[in-house]
Amino acid sequence: MKQLNIAVVGGGAAGLMAAIVASENGAKVDIWERNERVGKKILATGNGKCNFSNRQMSMEHYYGSDLSIPQKILKEFDVSDTERFFQNLGMMIRAKDSLLYPYSEQASTVLDTLRFKVAEQDIQILTEELVTEIKALSECKFMVASKRKSKVYDRVIVTCGGLAAPKTGSDGKGLDLAKKLGHKITALYPALTGLKVKDNDFKAISGVRCQVSIDMLLDDKVVMHEKGELQLTDYGVSGIAIFQMSRIAGMGLAQKQKVQVVVDLCPDIELQELRLLLQRKKHQFADRNLDSFLAGFINKKLALYLSRKISLNPNTLMKEIKDDKIYTLANLCKKWILDIVDINSFEQAQVTAGGVHFAQLEDTLQSKLHRGLFFAGEILDVDGKCGGYNLQWAWSSGFVAGTNASKSN
Ligand SMILES: Cc1cc2nc3c(=O)[nH]c(=O)nc-3n(C[C@H](O)[C@H](O)[C@H](O)COP(=O)(O)OP(=O)(O)OC[C@H]3O[C@@H](n4cnc5c(N)ncnc54)[C@H](O)[C@@H]3O)c2cc1C
């Protein structure tokens, strides 16, 4: 039987997985990668530790306009398959609750594990080759071309990523290739990123981190609730809880909805209890000024910022402050409303919401428009929450595309 020639366009997580699987199945595989090396984004994941999957898997953690194909794919190559795959390649795994990391807690371990296997399989990596054209010549015949090279293949797997973190190589060029091949691309938004607020004083609290609970409101309706660390920055809010909400915020803003984040800075204390607590403290430390009074409360920079918002002067003695003002401060701590005016750009985003539409794809991730053309990874219209879900999608879809591309007709 003739050996299939396969081009994998994009050497990220999905591309490396697809290439390994296709080559194990007997295909001759080339990876075309625009960067000087493969897997640049993998190195940036999980703050350099690479949260490569999550044992708590369900479709609740994924978004997209049609998740029926992603659901099948995530079952076909699931979390336990991913664990087995990496363990078989010699990588030890560390589980932190349900989150999975390499035991070394170094993202480079995941990349090295994949790179060594790629080398063993004799997969050719063509680096610094930005693919500018994929031409369908006939059924299962494609010409893949960069500025310097071109080559004909039986199958092409496009794994160029989306638009997020373009410094790592995924700047939307792959989406352009898909579009030129006739594929429909859904609306694209940055996801898993920070939100910008309408407040010029935010610089004063930049760097503050606190454990909070947060509601996201679209046109005054609560649409999402998260708990976790809130990180305040000079532009607005960040941290995992905010990242999880950013997709909805981005879509809300695009649809001209009012987007707000309501922060509870003291989630473990009821409002009434907080009011009484602050009132009691106020009487106990009546001769202190507000500045020293606030020292024993929430983060001081933040407490002072909130006090300024309700026109309290830090030098005022506590005995000169009316109880009503203290109640207002308690109210603000329980319900700090932030108007979101924008979402960070793709430069700061971890993933792309939207991508190649599943309507023109089969369950195998093969194009319905061109036999022999496959897609995998973030280029597709599916994105996950923080917690290893995006890389799991890259592994699962890479596996399915690689497996099916290496089957002869
Ligand atoms: C800072 C950061 C942290 C993250 N942390 C996590 C995490 O801990 N856990 C998690 O699950 N997910 C995480 N993600 C998301 C996850 O990394 C991505 O969803 C996943 O890597 C996508 O893999 P991919 O192979 O589809 O695309 P990419 O990794 O983007 O790979 C695409 C590759 O294609 C190449 N390419 C693009 N266009 C062309 C072209 N025309 N020709 C040739 N080559 C091309 C690019 O250079 C790149 O190497 C994080 C993302 C970022 C940015």
What is the tens place of the pLDDT at every residue in 294-327? 888 889 899 989 999 999 998 999 999 999 999 9
165 CA: nearest ligand 1 atom: 53
Cβ proximity of 40 and 334 under 8 Å: no
Task: State yes or no: pLDDT of 199 exceeds 90.
Answer: no
Q: How confident is the model over 240-256, as pLDDT tens digits? A: 999 999 999 999 999 99
Give residue 166 CA to ligand 1 midpoint distance, Å.
Answer: 9
Average pLDDT of every residue of the chain = 96
Global pTM?
0.94
pLDDT band at 42 (very low <50, low <70, confident <90, very high): very high
134 and 10 co-located in one domain: yes
299 and 360 co-located in one domain: no
283 and 231 co-located in one domain: yes
Q: What whole-number distance in Å separates Cα of residue 82 and Cα of residue 396? A: 8
pLDDT band at 215 (very low <50, low <70, confident <90, very high): very high
Residue 400 has which token pair? 């399915």
- Domain ranges, residue 76: 5-190+350-405
CB within 8 Å of 185: residues ≥ 6 apart = 175, 178, 179, 354, 355, 356, 357, 381
Cβ proximity of 387 and 51 under 8 Å: yes
Atom 34 (ligand 1): residue with closest C-alpha?
Answer: 10
385 and 260 co-located in one domain: no
254 and 226 co-located in one domain: yes
Cβ of 383 below 6 Å from ligand 1? no
The C-alpha torsion from 86 through 90 and 96 to 100, rounded to 10°, is: -10
Q: What whole-number distance in Å separates Cα of residue 228 and Cα of residue 31? A: 40
Which range is least confidently modeled, 47-56, 88-97, 283-292, 334-343?
A: 283-292
- Can you tell me the mean pLDDT for 374-396? 98
Domain end marker among 303, 318, 344: 344
Distances from the Cα of 322 to the Cαs of 121, 307, 334, in angstroms?
75, 13, 19
- Can you tell me the mean pLDDT for 159-177? 97
* Tally of domains within the chain: 2
pLDDT band at 274 (very low <50, low <70, confident <90, very high): very high
End-to-end CA distance of the chain: 11
The DSSP line for 9-75 is E--SHHHHHHHHHHHHTT-EEEEE-SSSSS-HHHHHGGGGT---EESS--GGGEE-S--HHHHHHHH
pLDDT band at 3 (very low <50, low <70, confident <90, very high): very high
Cβ of 172 below 6 Å from ligand 1? no
HSE-CB for 94 with a 13 A CA cutoff: 13
Name the burial class of residue 371, with classes exposed (0-12), middle (13-18) and buried (19+) by CB atoms within 10 angstroms of its CB: middle
93 and 211 co-located in one domain: no
368 and 269 co-located in one domain: no
pLDDT above 70 covers a percentage of the chain that reads 100
pLDDT of 291: 87
Domain end marker among 319, 344, 369: 344
305 and 364 co-located in one domain: no
Domain end marker among 344, 370, 390: 344
213 and 74 co-located in one domain: no
169 and 284 co-located in one domain: no
35 and 160 co-located in one domain: yes
Mutate to test the pocket of ligand 1, among 43, 176, 188, 350 (most ligand atoms within 8 A of CB): 350
Give residue 224 CA to ligand 1 midpoint distance, Å.
Answer: 27
pLDDT band at 260 (very low <50, low <70, confident <90, very high): very high
CATH code assigned at 106: 3.50.50.60
334 and 373 co-located in one domain: no
